[in-house]
């Protein structure tokens, strides 16, 4: 009986590990697709963006978010994988040098240091948001 439980536990753990590897591969593909988009569109990195109290963001991957200001949308790239975007158990204060500006290389969002900020127009923002989506998967 003990052997049966051990075998079941090993099979379940192996299945979970394989699923994580598949998710990792697809997130790496999304990260690479976003980097290709930046290069193809020749987006220039900004030093900072103007922030407001009603701003929000949407996660693209562990490395990228779409930051939505009052008037503009920005693609924000993090220095490292930002697990804090999905993990609401860790409360990490944001570091800001200025209360109305978010600066690349100095400030953080959810505790993750910002590597680069790119300004996007509406069509570019929609295109980035749909990276990794199968055609017709959104209704």
Give the three-state DSSP class for 73: strand
CA-to-CA separations, 58 to 4, 126, 130, in angstroms, rounded: 44, 12, 12
Q: Per residue in 87-139, pLDDT tens?
A: 765 555 677 777 889 999 999 988 899 999 999 999 999 999 998 675 555 54
138 within some domain:
no
Question: pTM here?
Answer: 0.74
User: Is 75 within the bounds of a domain?
Assistant: yes
Number of domains in the chain: 1
- For residue 43, tell me if it sits in a domain: yes
Residue 21 lies in a domain: yes
Q: Evaluate whether residue 136 is within a structural domain.
A: no
Least confident of 23-27, 65-69, 115-119, 129-133: 23-27
Q: Which domain holds residue 52?
A: 2-129
């Amino acid at each position: 009986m003990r052997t049966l439980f051990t075998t079941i536990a090993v099979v379940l753990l192996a299945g979970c590990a394989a699923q994580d590897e598949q998710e990792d591969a697809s997130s790496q593909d999304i990260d690479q697709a976003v980097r290709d988009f930046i290069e193809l569109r020749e987006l220039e990195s900004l030093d900072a963006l103007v922030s407001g109290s009603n701003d929000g963001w949407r996660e693209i991957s562990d490395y990228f978010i779409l930051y939505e200001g009052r008037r503009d949308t920005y693609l924000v790239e993090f220095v490292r994988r930002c697990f804090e975007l999905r993990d609401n158990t860790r409360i990490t204060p944001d570091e800001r040098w200025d209360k109305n500006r978010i600066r690349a290389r100095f400030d953080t969002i959810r505790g993750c240091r910002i590597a680069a900020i790119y300004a996007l127009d509406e069509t570019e923002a929609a295109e980035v948001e749909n990276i990794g989506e199968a055609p017709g998967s959104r209704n």
